[in-house]
Amino acid sequence: MILVTGGAGFIGSHTCVALSTAGYDVLIADNFSNSSPERVDGISEIAGKSIPCVRADVCDRDAMEGLFSRYPVEAVIHFAGFKAVGESVAKPLEYYRNNIDSALTLCGIMSEKGVRKLIFSSSATVYRADNPMPLDENALLGCTNPYGWSKLMIEQILRDLAVSDPGWSIALLRYFNPIGAHESGIIGEDPSGIPNNLFPYVSRVASGQLEKLHVFGSDYPTPDGTGIRDYIHVMDLAEGHVRALEYLQSKKGSWAFNLGTGRGTSVLELVRAFEEVSGRQIPYVMDERRPGDIAVCFAKTEKAEKELKWKARFGINEMCRDGWNWEMRRRKG
């Protein structure tokens, strides 16, 4: 059985679907601080079977010990954590305490229970902003916000753990910019309040929930002046976790992998693609650059392609198509 912490979240829920499709038994642990129990129903609907879920905070040692005692957990995919970059700047202590404490608590219990296969949900924010593009796994590490630092600190903890105990098998998956939704439209990204990320904001402008999109920065040294990022379909990302789990079956130690497409898309290119698939106009205004944002960021993906036998399949139009399908279904529901 594969324990997925934060399995009711955006990436976690899609990964649970991919795991179930691949034949794995899945157990979700989530405190629903940024998700809802209804998401678990959606996962079960797509999977065609009931997916067990325990309401628990990964920082709660007693709750996690009880979970490991009740279920035959063989490996863990750790998504649970706070994830908003801007909020992390305003609330650094909360981010460090929650994200690092949850990892320490989880790994401590895994050690006690003899479960030593772990996939960690990391981020491209662990890379320094002054690296040349594309970013490979050997690029210089360093962060500009507490969220990124919490991810990098956990990576270091896990690398140290693998050195101290050679029985561990750990994959550090560095995500770029996941967007889209499951093709069924049953699950997708549904942030509370006004979205922090570009894609759900675009979706809500297209559906009329928000008046216009704010594009931060129009004078970057890019073809259209807007920032370029490596957007990846969330189901491609989910499949990367399945491949990483297979990889860990025969490997010991710790490894970092980029999960991206290896291609950059500008903000305005994404807007135009969304307009094309939705048939809706997306009004936008150009605002000043946000502090800390860089012009271009995209992945070098050869390592994941070679070692994990994984490569992103979907393009930006398919990401927008599935994201819009989810938005329309969510609005009707």
Whether 147 sits among the annotated catalytic residues: the reply is: yes
Phi-psi map region of 257: left, alpha, beta (phi>0 left; psi -120 to 50 alpha): beta
Q: Which residue bears the tokens 């990892």?
A: 103
Query: Residue 64 is encoded by which pair of tokens?
Result: 């996690």
What is the distance between the alpha carbons of residues 200 and 194, in angstroms, rounded to a whole number? 9
Q: Which of 95, 127, 147, 175 is catalytic?
A: 147
- Catalytic amino acids? 147
